[in-house]
Amino acid sequence: MTLTCDGGACCPGGQTCDITDAPQQAIDTVVSNTNTLRGNPASGVLPTVLYIPPGHYTIHRTIEVSGAFGGAIVGDDPDTTTITWAGAVPGSPGSPMGFPMVLIRNSHGTKFARITLDGGPAGHPPAAAGCTGDPESPCGQFRGCPGGMPWLSGISIAQQVGQGFSVYFLDIDDDVFRSLSFGIMTFPGSSDFATTDQFTNNPTCYELDLDGASPTNVGKIGRASCRERV
C-alpha cells in the first residue's frame, strides 16, 4: 500500500505538505489487516506494508501504531523520505510536557524503516520555568524540572498494560532521527528491538527504562549504534 492523500500523491511537485491524517488512516488499515491475517491466515492477500514515497512531509500530532502483529511502515530512503514535526512545542502553554512523533505500542514484529524523523524547531524545547538543567545527566538536559522535562521523541515504544500483547521483536532500522530531545524512547514492557539507525543533533539518542523497570528486559540498542549520520 502506497501512502496517498485523497487518492493522489501527497506532495505533488515536490512541495512540503502536512500529511498527519493520511498515514494514520493507512496505518490503521495495515494494523487491522495484520490482525485479520493472524486470526485467519487463509483470508487472502491483504496489504500489510505502508510505503511512504520520497517527499518532505510534516505532521502536527502523534502518529500511532497500536496492536499490530507484524506489518511495516517504510520510506523510500532516509535521505528522500523526511517527516518533520510541525505541531506544538512541548511544554508550551496548553501543551503536554512531552510527546512522540510516532508511538508504537502493544505491537509485535512490526517494522519502521528508511525514514527521517526531524523534530524541527520543537525538537529542542526550552527549559520549563524553574529548570536549571543538569549537565551531568546522561538522559537529557532538563532533569529535575519542577514541572517535568519538556521533550519530543522520534519514536516512543510502550506497552499499555492489559491491552493486547507486549511490545517485542520490533525492527527499527535505517532511519535517521534528527533534532529531537530523544531519538528512541522506550518504556517498561517494550523489548527486543534492533536498530541500525543514525542520530543527528539529539541530546540523547535513546533512553531505556524510562520508568525504572529492569533494564534487562528493555530495548536492546548498543551504544555503537548511537552515532552521527555520515
Put the strands of the sheet holding 17-18 in their side by side order: 17-18, 55-59, 81-85, 116-118, 176-178, 198-200
First to last CA, the chain: 31
Q: What pLDDT does residue 214 have?
A: 34
For strands 63-66 and 98-105, give the pairing. parallel
| Cα–Cα dist 53/10, whole Å | 9
The x, y and z cell numbers of residue 125, run together, are 524545547
pLDDT at 107: 87
Q: Specify the DSSP class assigned to residue 12.
A: G
What is the pLDDT at residue 25? 92
Distance CA 166, CA 187 (A): 11
pLDDT at 63 (0 to 100): 96
Q: Which cell is 217 given?
A: 528486559
pLDDT along the chain (230 residues), means of 10: 86 82 93 88 81 94 92 94 92 82 89 92 66 46 56 79 61 84 68 58 51 35 35
pTM score: 0.80
Bridge partner list, 98: 151
Helix, coil or strand: residue 74 = strand
Separation between Cα atoms, residue 124 and residue 153, nearest integer Å = 10
CA distances (Å), origin 187, targets 19, 184, 190, 208? 27, 10, 6, 7
